[in-house]
Every structure is written in C-alpha cells, then in structure tokens.
C-alpha cells in the first residue's frame, strides 16, 4: 500500500484542482495535488513539499480530513487529505496537464480519481 497526501487548497472561495497527464497512471483523471510520503517524512512535510514541487506555491495547513483507503486494479493507496490555504506564489505546473480553480459546489463535475470521491463528499459536508 502506498501512502499519499493531498491538499484541498482554498483561496477566494475557490479550490485548486489538477488533471493528471496522459502519461501518468490514472491518465486524465482529476485529483487534489499531492504525492507519496517519503521515508521518515511526516504527512505535513510531505504535503508542503509536494505542493511546492507540483504547483510551485506556498500553503498553510488548516486541518486534516479522514484518510481513505482505496484499491485500484493494480495498486492500493491510503490517501490523506488536508485542507489548506493558499499563501503565495503563481501556479506553475511541473507534471499535470492543467489546473482550475472551482467553487465547492462545482467540484462534482470532474472525472475524479476514484479514491478522491469519498474525500470530496466529506469536504462538501463540512
Ligand atoms: N496526488 C494525488 N494522488 C492521487 C490522488 N488520488 C489518487 O488516487 N492518487 C494516486 O496516488 C498516487 C500518487 O502518487 P504520485 O502522484 O506521487 O505518483 P505518480 O504515479 O504520479 O508518480 P511516480 O512516478 O512517482 O509513481 C498516484 O498513483 C495517484 O494516481 C489525489 O487526489 N492526489
């Protein structure tokens, strides 16, 4: 099982979402930015590092939501979500195909990575 953190980054009533590229696994699926926890890394350090690497922005963590375990056909993940707020920087994608800023109620319209559906539900119920 791989441990992955992801961030729901809020700014001006919107949340940033990213689309995986054709060349990644789960091609073209939408997700919250984040990535795998490295050896001896805390969840908090991981999410801040991944957001800097993938989007090139700074965030501040607000809270942690419930982790979700999900079994894809070829791998299993534990996805650990954080709510965060945007602090500074201009988004510059290093891996993803595109990003968008959406209001909470419009997040449902995307083709999400399956593991994210439960996270989305919890977030929208807050
Ligand atoms: N970052 C992120 N990954 C997610 C989400 N939902 C989800 O199923 N995943 C999966 O969790 C894994 C995240 O690891 P990653 O982004 O570092 O991995 P990757 O496969 O792109 O890169 P790799 O080449 O380092 O293996 C991917 O397999 C991705 O498909 C999500 O909301 N955010």
pLDDT tens per residue across span 51-78: 999 999 999 999 999 999 999 999 999 9
> In this predicted structure, what is the pLDDT of residue 31?
98
Cα 4 to ligand 1 centre (Å):
7
Range of the domain at 44: 2-125
Residue closest to 124 by CA, chosen among 107, 112, 110: 107
The alpha carbon of 74 and the centre of ligand 1 are apart by a number of angstroms equal to: 13
Ligand 1 lined by 118 (C-beta under 6 Å): no
Q: Are 37 and 43 in contact (CB under 8 A)?
A: yes
68 in ligand 1 pocket by Cβ < 6 Å?
no
pTM: 0.95
pLDDT in tens, 73-126: 999 999 999 999 999 999 999 999 999 999 999 999 999 999 999 999 999 999
The domain tally of the chain equals 1
**Any residues with CB less than 8 A from the CB of 47 and at least 6 apart, and which?**
5, 6, 7, 34, 59, 61, 82, 84
d(CA 2, ligand 1 centre) in Å? 9
pLDDT for the residue numbered 120: 97
Compute the CA torsion angle 104, 109, 113, 114 (nearest 10 deg): 90
Nearest 5°: the CA angle 125, 30, 80 is 55
Residue 101: the pLDDT is: 98
User: Mind listing the pLDDT tens digit for each residue in 20-58?
Assistant: 999 999 999 999 999 999 999 999 999 999 999 999 999
Q: What is the CATH number of the domain that holds 65?
A: 3.90.79.10
Answer for the pair 57, 86: CB distance below 8 angstroms, yes or no.
Answer: yes
Q: How far is the CA of 40 from the centre of ligand 1 (A)?
A: 19
**Ligand 1 neighbourhood includes 25 CB (under 6 angstroms):** yes
Residue 71 near ligand 1, beta carbon < 6 Å: no
């Amino acid at each position: 099982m791989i441990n992955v953190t992801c961030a729901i980054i809020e700014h001006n009533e919107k949340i940033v979402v990213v689309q995986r590229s054709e060349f990644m696994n789960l091609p073209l699926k939408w997700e919250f930015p984040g990535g795998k926890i490295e050896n001896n890394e805390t969840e908090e350090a991981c999410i801040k590092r991944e957001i800097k690497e993938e989007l090139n922005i700074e965030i501040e963590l607000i809270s942690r939501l419930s982790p979700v375990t999900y079994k894809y056909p070829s791998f299993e993940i534990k996805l650990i979500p954080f709510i965060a707020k945007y602090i500074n920087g201009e988004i510059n994608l290093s891996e993803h195909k595109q990003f968008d800023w959406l209001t909470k109620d419009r997040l449902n319209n995307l083709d999400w990575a399956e593991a994210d559906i439960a996270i989305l539900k919890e977030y929208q119920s807050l």
